[in-house]
């Protein structure tokens, strides 16, 4: 089927209707969550009891608003810390690894490349438990040998960062390597011939060229980290990131404050995502 | 001069990669394997053996949960393909210009939001006091509240929803690169819509189909949130078994064995699918 090929009206109508239905399916849960963030009721469900902003701004129980809910705000702060560190680490290692695979030939390169892709096909829960087991082995070993307790190797934010980094770095590597592959190396050579040092070439030519990919994969890394659940679930300690806090709330049964958090996240990640799309669009021209 | 500089740069680039791979992927998995081979005899006394694996295979509930998880993940993959393919084709070949870009963006938007928010949305729609139940009562189709949540169909709906993006994006990019004239030729040679799809479009899009299917399958198999929040009490997901051994029962040895069983199962299935379709892992995932 193509736009240029005549089709029966009924078939064309059915196809369009299907696509419309599909987008209703995609939007429905998000729209519902967003609308009920403004419902003046103690439960996130019908009936509609009127419009309120309490779930954002009310400072007292029982209608404690999102900005006054200390557990949620703490979760938010934890997620933010984790996402920032995971993103920076992933970009750094993603860039060096992209250079490694695009610019160097070495023995076992094929094998290393497959190894690099593996974190994407290992379930997140398994990545989590393997890092949990290994870090405990080290921490226990150190404790028996020296008596020092390495608390950062026990479940907590540090392990969450490592766990998320272990697979987000692969995504960063793939995005950055794809851009690096299209780079015309004669530009670098010209600069070197004109007397620029390799470091100057890297900073004034190659890295600026990679900028759209760095920003794009940085945004993706940040969003994936912020919304990660599986790996985080196995590695988090007493200070839980937001997704874990929300999960616990959801099982307890919650007030519409969860809707307010969700709407807040939707707006935040939507803005970041849009920014990413705009940056990606410059790719061709930069 | 430049050559020695190159060696130095090479080691500088290799070091972070090796640290990442060895410390976070290779050694932790070896450690996990070693732990899974450790049998507890009495507290604090261990011996090496396959006891934990024997416990897994000896307990029908564990095996049944794994089989159920695999079968449902495969079903979710097929359903995601069936639901997503017409939309991907529409975006790649029918929509033009602005519509096309905005439809593609609309497909991405739900996935910028956390999975937990998406699941929450479905819970609000499907549960007994939810919107669909209320609507059905209002419309007089049912007389009392209906519980649409906490069953396998709800889990399936959630899994398909949550994986959709990973099917649509690779499909759109492969179908998009198919030359329109090939489709027109198919029609000129007397094919109908169905035969053109089957004989031209789908074979051409196979790398995209495989890339999407593998990711969707892996995501479904390793999912924890959707089955836990949307599924019934009887329909446990295998990852929930791993979680309860590690966190609730504190039996890490058995939990590690479960982890390896899941890893082996998923690897074998992905390998088989790649083999049967003649694709490679770096070909499907590494296209960048």
Task: Write the secondary structure of A27-40 as one string of H (helix), E (strand) and C (coil).
Answer: HHHHHHHHHHHHEC
pLDDT at B284: 66
Confidence category of residue B77, pLDDT binned at 50, 70, 90? very high
Q: How far is CA A251 from the centre of its chain?
A: 24
Q: In the numeric block, which tokens belong to residue B192? A: 């109908």
pLDDT > 90? residue B73: yes
Question: Confidence band (pLDDT; 50, 70, 90) for A5?
Answer: low
Q: Can you give the pLDDT at residue B5?
A: 63
The answer on pLDDT for B19 being more than 90 is yes
The percent of residues in chain A predicted with pLDDT above 70, rounded, is: 94
Q: Which of A124, A157, A165 is nearest to A242 (CA)?
A: A157
Overall size of chain B counted in residues: 288
Is residue B35 a part of any domain in this protein?
A: no
- Bridge pairing between strands B38-42 and B45-48: antiparallel
- Closest chain A residue to B89 measured between Cα atoms? A1
pLDDT at A4 (0 to 100): 63
Cα dihedral across residues B157, B159, B165, B167: positive or negative: negative
Q: Helix/strand/coil (H, E, C) string of A36-97?
A: HHHECCCCCCCCCCCECCHHHHCCCCCCCCHHHCHHHHHHHHHHHHHHHHHHHHHHHHHHHH
Asked if B179 reaches chain A (Cβ–Cβ under 8 Å), the answer is: no
Do A219 and A273 contact (CB within 8 A), yes or no?
yes
Q: Which residue of B has its CA nearest to A260?
A: B117
Q: pLDDT value at position B83?
A: 93
What is the pTM assigned to this prediction? 0.87
Whether omega for the bond prior to residue A62 falls within 30 degrees of 0, making it cis, is yes
Name the residue range of residue B142's domain.
68-233
Contacts of A270 in chain B (CB under 8 A): 109, 112-113
Across the interface, whether the CB atoms of B110 and A229 are under 8 A apart is answered no
Q: How many CB pairs under 8 A join A and B?
A: 255
Q: CA–CA separation, A87 vs A83, rounded Å?
A: 6
Of the listed ranges A12-26, A255-269, B274-288, the least confidently predicted one is B274-288
Whether the CB-CB separation of B116 and B225 falls below 8 Å is answered with yes
Predicted pLDDT at B285: 64
Residue A59, Cβ density class (10 Å: 0-12 exposed, 13-18 middle, ≥19 buried): exposed
Cis preceding-peptide flag for A47 (omega within 30 of 0): yes
Burial class (CB in 10 A: 0-12, 13-18, 19+), A105: exposed
Contact B39, A141 (CB under 8 A): no
**pLDDT recorded at residue A285:** 44
Between B206 and A174, the more confident residue is A174
Which secondary structure element, helix H or strand E, spans residue B38, and what is its range? Answer: strand B38-42
**Distance between alpha carbon A166 and the CA centroid of its chain, in Å?**
13
Angle at A18 between CA A9 and CA B110, to 5 degrees: 145
Sign of dihedral through CA atoms A144, A149, A150, A151?
positive
Structure tokens at B275: 């083999």
- The CATH number covering residue B85 comes to 1.10.3720.10
Quote the percentage of chain A above a pLDDT of 90. Answer: 32
Contact B281, A115 (CB under 8 A): no
- How many Å from the N-terminal Cα to the C-terminal Cα in chain A? 36
Provide the number of structural domains found in chain B.
Answer: 1
Which chain A residue has its CA at the smallest distance from B284's CA? A117
Give me the residues of B, 221-260, that contact A with CB < 8 A: 221-225, 229, 239, 242-243, 246-247, 252, 255-256, 259
**Residue corresponding to tokens 């759209």:** A212
Distance separating alpha carbons of residues B2 and A279, to the nearest angstrom: 35
Taking the CA atoms of chain B, what radius of gyration do you get in angstroms?
A: 24
Across the interface, whether the CB atoms of B24 and A166 are under 8 A apart is answered yes
Q: What is the mean pLDDT of residues A10-29?
A: 90
- Superfamily holding A64-282: MetI-like (1.10.3720.10)
DSSP output for B116-128: HHHHHHHHHHHST
Contact A175 B252 (CB under 8 A): no
Residue B179: pLDDT over 90: no
B158 domain-assigned: yes
- pLDDT tens digits, one per residue of B218-229: 889 989 989 988
- B42 in a structural domain: no
How many residues are there in chain A? 286
Q: In the predicted model, what is the mean pLDDT of chain A?
A: 86
Cα distance from B175 to chain A (closest Cα, Å)?
Answer: 12
- Torsional sign, CA B169, B173, B178, B183: positive
> Which residues between 110 and 139 in chain A have a beta carbon less than 8 angstroms from any beta carbon of chain B?
110, 112-127, 129-134, 137
ipTM over 0.90: no
Q: In the predicted model, is pLDDT for residue B278 greater than 60?
A: yes
Report the SS3 class of residue B224.
coil
**Is B21 inside any structural domain?**
no
Asked if residue B12 is part of any domain, the answer here is no
Comparing A116-120, A123-127, B96-100, B260-264, the range with the smallest average pLDDT is: B96-100
Q: Answer yes or no: is B85 within a domain.
A: yes
Give the range with max mean pLDDT: A45-49, A172-176, A277-281.
Answer: A172-176
Closest CA to A33 of B162, B121, B116: B121
Residue A167 banded pLDDT, cuts 50, 70, 90:
very high
Question: Least CA distance to A166: which residue of chain B?
Answer: B24
- pLDDT at B187 (0 to 100): 78
Nearest to A94 by CA among A10, A246, A217: A217
- Distance of alpha carbon A189 from alpha carbon A202, whole angstroms: 11
Q: How far apart are CA A258 and CA A17, in angstroms?
A: 33
Residue with tokens 């530009």: A187
């Amino acid at each position: 089927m193509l736009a240029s090929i005549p089709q029966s009206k009924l078939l064309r109508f059915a196809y369009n209707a299907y696509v419309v239905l599909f987008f209703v399916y995609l939007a429905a849960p998000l729209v519902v969550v967003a609308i009920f963030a403004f419902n003046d009721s103690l439960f996130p469900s019908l009936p509609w009891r009127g419009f309120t902003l309490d779930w954002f701004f009310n400072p007292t129980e029982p209608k404690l608003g999102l900005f006054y809910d200390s557990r949620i705000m703490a979760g938010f702060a934890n997620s933010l810390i984790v996402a920032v560190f995971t993103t920076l680490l992933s970009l750094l290692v993603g860039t060096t690894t992209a250079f490694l695979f695009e610019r160097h030939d070495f023995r076992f390169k094929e094998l290393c490349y497959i190894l690099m892709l593996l974190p994407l096909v290992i379930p997140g829960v398994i990545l989590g438990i393997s890092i949990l087991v290994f870090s405990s082995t080290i921490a226990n070993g150190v404790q028996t040998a020296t008596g020092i307790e390495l608390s950062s190797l026990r479940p907590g934010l540090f392990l969450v960062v490592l766990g998320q980094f272990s697979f987000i770095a692969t995504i960063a590597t793939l995005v950055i390597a794809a851009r690096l592959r299209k780079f015309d190396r004669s530009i670098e050579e010209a600069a070197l011939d004109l007397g620029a040092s390799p470091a100057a070439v890297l900073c004034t030519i190659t890295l600026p060229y990679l900028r759209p990919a760095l920003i794009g994969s940085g945004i993706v890394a940040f969003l994936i980290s912020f919304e990660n659940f599986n790996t985080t679930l196995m590695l988090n300690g007493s200070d839980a990131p937001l997704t874990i806090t929300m999960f616990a709330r959801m099982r307890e049964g919650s007030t519409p404050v969860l809707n307010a958090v969700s709407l807040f996240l939707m707006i935040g990640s939507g803005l970041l995502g849009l920014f990413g799309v705009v940056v990606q669009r410059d790719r061709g021209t930069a | 001069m430049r050559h020695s500089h190159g060696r130095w740069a090479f080691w500088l680039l290799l070091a972070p990669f090796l640290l990442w791979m060895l410390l976070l992927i290779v050694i932790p998995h070896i450690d996990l394997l070693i732990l899974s081979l450790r049998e507890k005899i009495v507290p604090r006394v261990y011996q090496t053996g396959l006891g934990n694996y024997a416990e897994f295979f000896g307990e029908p509930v564990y095996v049944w949960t794994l089989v159920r998880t695999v079968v449902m993940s495969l079903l979710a993959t097929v359903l995601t393909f069936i639901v997503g393919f017409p939309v991907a084709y529409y975006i790649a070949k029918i929509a033009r210009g602005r519509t096309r870009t905005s439809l593609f963006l609309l497909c991405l938007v739900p996935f910028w939001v956390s999975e937990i928010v998406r699941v929450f949305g479905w819970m609000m729609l499907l549960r007994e006091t939810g919107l669909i139940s209320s609507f059905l009562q209002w419309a007089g189709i049912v007389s009392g509240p209906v519980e649409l949540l906490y069953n396998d169909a709800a889990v399936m709906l959630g899994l398909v929803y949550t994986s959709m993006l990973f099917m649509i994006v690779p499909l759109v990019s492969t179908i998009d690169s198919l030359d329109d004239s090939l489709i027109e030729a198919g029609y000129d040679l007397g094919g109908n819509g169905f035969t053109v799809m089957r004989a031209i479009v789908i074979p051409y899009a196979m790398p995209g189909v495989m890339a999407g299917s593998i990711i969707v399958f892996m995501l479904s198999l390793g999912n924890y949130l959707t089955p836990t929040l949307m599924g019934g009490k009887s329909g446990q997901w295998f990852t929930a078994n791993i979680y309860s051994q590690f966190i609730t029962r504190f039996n890490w040895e058995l939990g590690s064995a479960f982890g390896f069983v899941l890893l082996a199962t998923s690897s074998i299935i992905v390998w088989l699918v790649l083999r049967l379709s003649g694709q490679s892992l770096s070909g499907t995932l590494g296209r960048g």
